[in-house]
Structure 1
Amino acid sequence: METQENALTLALMTEPARATICRALLDAGEDGLPAAALAQLAGLSLPRAAHLFQELMQAEVVALSIRERQVCYVLKARRAVREALGYIDSSGLAD
C-alpha cells in the first residue's frame, strides 16, 4: 500500500465518521452529497462534520461544490479511499 493509502487508512480507522463519510461519497459517485446529508449519515452535528470536511479537504480527499444553494462534497481521491476502505474491511479493523 502506498503512503497516501497508509495515511488515509489510519485516518479512517481513528475516526469512524470519516470512514462513513468517505463510503457515502464513494457510493454517491461524481455528484457527491450535501454536507447536511453526510453529517446525518455519520451521526454528527453539522459543526462537527464541518471540522471533518475541512480535514478531508486539506488532505485533498474531498472537494467542495455548491449545487442548488447547498454545500456539497465530492470525493477526489477515489482510488485511495477505495483501497483504504478495502484494507480496513478485509483486515477486520472496522469491527
Structure 2
Amino acid sequence: METPQPNALLPYALLAVPARLAICRALLEAGEHGLPAAELAAIAGLTLPRATHCFRELLQADVVAVTVHGRQVSYVLKARHAVREALDYLGSSGLLS
C-alpha cells in the first residue's frame, strides 16, 4: 500500500477544527466569487480578529486565496477538489455531523 503524501492529508487536518471546517464549507458553496472575511467569521461563529488566525492557516496551506477590493477583504477556495473530497469522505465515514 502506498504511503499518502503529506499534502494529500492537508485538507483533512484543516477540517479537523470546526471553525476552519465552517469556513471551507461556506467557501465551497460560495463558488468562484468567494465571501467577505466578516461574513465568513460570522458563519464560523468567530469574531473577525479570531477568524484571522483561521484565514492565515488556510492561506499558508494554499487552500484559499485572498482578494482585496477597497476596504473589503474576501477569500476564495483554491483547493476546491481536495476540500470537496475530504468533506465527502469525512461525511460518508460519519466523522462529520
Same fold (TM over 0.5): yes
Do 1:4 and 1:80's aligned partners in 2 also have CA atoms closer than 8 Å? no
Q: What is the count of residue pairs matched by the alignment?
A: 94
Give structure 2 stretches of 5+ with no counterpart: none
The answer for the alignment partner of 1:64 in structure 2 is 66
Paired AA for residue 31 in structure 2? G
Question: Shift of residue 2 of structure 1?
Answer: 5.9
Find 2:52's aligned residue among 46, 50, 53.
50
Tell me which of the two structures has the higher relative contact order, counting C-alpha pairs closer than 8 angstroms and 6 or more residues apart: 1
Q: Report the structure number with the largest CA radius of gyration.
A: 2
Output the CA distance in 2 between the equivalents of 1:44 and 1:50. Answer: 9
Output the CA distance in 2 between the equivalents of 1:91 and 1:2. Answer: 21
The answer for the alignment partner of 2:79 in structure 1 is 77
Give structure 1 stretches of 5+ with no counterpart: none
Do 1:9 and 1:87's aligned partners in 2 also have CA atoms closer than 8 Å? no
1:1-95 → structure 2 map (5 Å cutoff)? 3-13=6-16, 15-95=17-97
After the TM superposition, list the runs of 4 or more consecutive aligned residues in structure 1 that deviate by more than 4 angstroms. none
Name the Cα RMSD after superposition.
1.5
Paired AA for residue 79 in structure 2? A
Question: Shift of residue 94 of structure 1?
Answer: 1.4
Output the CA distance in 2 between the equivalents of 1:37 and 1:2. Answer: 33
TM-score (norm 1): 0.90
Output the CA distance in 2 between the equivalents of 1:25 and 1:5. Answer: 20
Give the number of the structure whose residues are more often helix, by fraction: 1
Question: Shift of residue 31 of structure 1?
Answer: 0.5
TM-score (norm 2): 0.88
Aligned-residue identity in percent: 60
